[in-house]
Structure 1
Amino acid sequence: MKIQQVHHVAYRCKDAKETVEWYKTNLNMDFTLAFAENHVPSTHEPDPYMHIFLDAGNGNVLAFFELPTKPEMGRDENTPKWVQHLALKVADRETLVAYKDRLEANGVEVLGVTDHSVFHSIYCFDPNGHRIELAYDDPKAAALAARAAEVKDEMLEEWTKTKRAPRQAAWLHSKELSEI
């Protein structure tokens, strides 16, 4: 028994139409499906909602709920804004830079390109306040990830005991990657 893939990931949105237009315009996603009910099918709670679905490529689906009867969206103030995010893969650096240019041309503030050694990313926020990361794998990603995977268990155990950053894979951000 094994999970096949993510069926869809769902977030809340402030405005379904604005969200569809933002993802179509800025990330070139296709709007594929919408559901709307006045009762929640799983709980039978009377609560109207609009559920929208966007094609995020390769069978990946990004979905949103607009909930007009609920209080305005908030976020967990105890979690930094950079932690909770949706990372979307792009083909290469050229594509990443093209998205950066497109987002900035549309008035979206973009952070990066950030070098994470294994991959490179840009970051922005959608109109709902969700942090979006676009990333491409470094050409050396497979070799870097294989080397880092060798110490993952040891790192997790050390982290569990100390709650301090283990140093076994510190080389990933130290730029001593020439031997890989």
Structure 2
Amino acid sequence: MSVPFALNRIHHVAYRCNDAKETADWYRDNLGMEFTTAFSEDHVPSTGAYDPYMHIFLDCGGGNIIAFFELPEQPEMGRDPNTPQWVQHIAFQVSDLDALLAAKRHLEEQGIDVLGPTHHGIFKSIYFFDPNGHRLELACDIGTEEQYAELRRVAPLMLDEWSKTKKAPRHADWLHAPE
């Protein structure tokens, strides 16, 4: 099936935050993002509903934007209690393992608890939380072209098997083999 348009990239991804200024400062100071834009309205443009908000945008590099909404008149932020904390996360790419390890040191020096590096076969990553409780991941690719090609080859097989059995297919067990 084809569609009559093409996507260029993700324009932005938006999440909720507790405090827009604290969030912008945290992402600047801890991840080096640039705060670029802010919108604030009393009514939501798409729905017309009264719901005052501050909408901030941060440049993650490479044309990638993450945005946050502070919604002071809404109930406190919560999490889906049926989804484990490790599932919903935002992953950012760094250039290599040296950058990943430097990021870990920097974050820990800021008093942030960091898990990892975790080996995922074709990339390594670290995990931590922002001040809003959003889980973040920094990852660096370490795979070979052959490994990525093999993963592309087995992806449909794995998805079909999962869809039928709801049990983990073993086509890519090599990803988590000990280093």
TM-score, shorter chain, exceeding 0.5:
yes
Are positions 1:98 and 2:102 aligned together?
A: yes
* Displacement after TM superposition at 1:9 (Å): 0.3
Q: Does structure 2 retain, via aligned residues, the 8 Å contact 1:55–1:62?
A: yes
Structure 1 unaligned regions, length at least 5: none
* Displacement after TM superposition at 1:142 (Å): 2.6
Match of 2:163 in 1: 160
Q: State how far apart, in whole Å, the 2-side matches of 1:12 and 1:67 are.
A: 8
Match among 156, 171, 174 for residue 174 of structure 2: 171
Aligned pairs for 1:70-89 within 5 A: 70-89=74-93
SS at match of 2:21: helix
Match of 2:113 in 1: 109
Q: State how far apart, in whole Å, the 2-side matches of 1:143 and 1:88 are.
A: 23
SS at match of 1:167: coil
* Displacement after TM superposition at 1:143 (Å): 2.1
**Matched pairs, number:** 175
Given residue 116 of structure 2, which amino acid in structure 1 is its aligned partner? G
SS at match of 1:48: strand
Q: State how far apart, in whole Å, the 2-side matches of 1:29 and 1:111 are.
A: 21
Match of 2:55 in 1: 51
Amino-acid identity (%)? 59
Match of 1:41 in 2: 45
Aligned-residue RMSD, C-alpha = 1.0
Given residue 92 of structure 2, which amino acid in structure 1 is its aligned partner? L
Q: State how far apart, in whole Å, the 1-side matches of 2:148 and 2:176 are.
A: 13
Match of 1:28 in 2: 32
Given residue 118 of structure 1, which amino acid in structure 2 is its aligned partner? I
* Displacement after TM superposition at 1:64 (Å): 0.1
Q: State how far apart, in whole Å, the 1-side matches of 2:115 and 2:165 are.
A: 31
Q: Does structure 2 retain, via aligned residues, the 8 Å contact 1:119–1:141?
A: no
Q: Does structure 2 retain, via aligned residues, the 8 Å contact 1:51–1:65?
A: yes
Match among 13, 17, 20 for residue 9 of structure 1: 13
Structure 2 unaligned regions, length at least 5: none
* Displacement after TM superposition at 1:175 (Å): 4.4
Give every structure 1 segment of 4 or more consecutive aligned residues whose post-TM-superposition deviation is greater than 4 Å: none
